[in-house]
Amino acid sequence: MIRSLLRLLPALLLVLLPAAPFHAPALIPPTGMQAPAPSLDATLPSLAAFVEQVRTGTGTHITGIYAAEVFAYPVVQQPAGQAGFVSSLADTLTQFGMASTYGSLGFLAHNTLAGSAFSEVELYQLITVVYGDGLTTTYQVMDIRRFEATLPTSPYSSFVDLETNKTLTAADLFAQTYGIRGTLVLQTCISRNGMDSWGRLFLIAVPYFPDHPTYH
């Protein structure tokens, strides 16, 4: 019952907040990559120390994502016109530019690199977004969704929900994740059957109440 109610929160945000116009065909970037998985750092910096590490002095860009006791990753932007780009740098997230055009925050990582930590995130985990000027905003993970990709390496694959067994198009899945204004979405791939891009994992977070930005 509680899980069902949590699933309604993103949909409620979609109703309450105006939808952004779709500017391009929605896609779900593959985030599998053949590379050795990094070891998770057991000695993460404090949030205040991490903010200083990623501070650039420019507040327009997100420069870091922090999850206490799980990960502290810097963020890079996608090159213009490359909606499927995912950084191959270790311990680095890529901001999904297409998500921003729909009013959400999306971040991608290969499951053999920074994305390997996403499976350690649990429901209700707090996620802190850090901007270049030191401003932070906090979100809370309210849903975790897993899918099998029918065409593992295609950004336009259909996807089978591993919980409901329902099949969604890439556009449908995009609308239920990145297409919901005000949400934060972390995406990586699921490895299975010898394929790094077998499926997709989404961590979906909503603004944490009270959602007041703070400076460090």
Mean pLDDT, residues 9-32 taken together: 56
Tens of pLDDT along 51-76? 999 999 988 899 999 999 999 999 99
In the chain, how many domains are there? 1
Q: Please state the φ and ψ torsions of residue 30, each to the nearest 5 degrees.
A: -65, 140
Tens of pLDDT along 24-34? 678 888 876 55
Tens of pLDDT along 104-143? 999 999 999 999 999 999 999 999 999 999 999 999 999 9
Tokens of 25: 């065909």
Q: Please state the φ and ψ torsions of residue 68, each to the nearest 5 degrees.
A: -55, 130
Classify 91 in phi/psi space as left (phi over 0), alpha (psi -120 to 50) or beta.
left
Beta-strand ranges (E) seen in the chain are 62-67, 71-77, 93-95, 105-108, 126-131, 135-149, 159-161, 167-168, 184-192, 195-207, 214-215
Is 157 part of a structural domain of the chain?
A: yes
Q: What is residue 30's predicted lDDT score, i.e. its pLDDT? A: 83
**Chain center to CA of 211:** 19
Is 20 part of a structural domain of the chain?
A: no
Q: What is residue 216's predicted lDDT score, i.e. its pLDDT? A: 45
Is 35 part of a structural domain of the chain?
A: no
Q: What is residue 29's predicted lDDT score, i.e. its pLDDT? A: 85
Is 29 part of a structural domain of the chain?
A: no
Is 190 part of a structural domain of the chain?
A: yes
Is 201 part of a structural domain of the chain?
A: yes
Q: How far apart are CA 149 and CA 151, in angstroms?
A: 5
Q: How far apart are CA 205 and CA 143, in angstroms?
A: 7
Q: What is residue 212's predicted lDDT score, i.e. its pLDDT? A: 53
Cα torsion 153, 203, 168, 15: sign: negative
Is 24 part of a structural domain of the chain?
A: no
Q: How far apart are CA 130 and CA 214, in angstroms?
A: 10
Residue from 143, 186, 147, 151 nearest 163 by CA: 147
pLDDT at 210 over 70: no
Q: Which residues contact 56 (CB under 8 A, 6 or more apart)?
A: 63, 132, 133
Is 126 part of a structural domain of the chain?
A: yes
Domain range for residue 203?
A: 2-7+42-210
CATH number of the domain enclosing 68: 2.40.260.10
Residue with tokens 């791939």: 189
Tell me whether strands 195-207 and 105-108 are parallel, antiparallel or unpaired: unpaired
Mean pLDDT, residues 162-169 taken together: 98
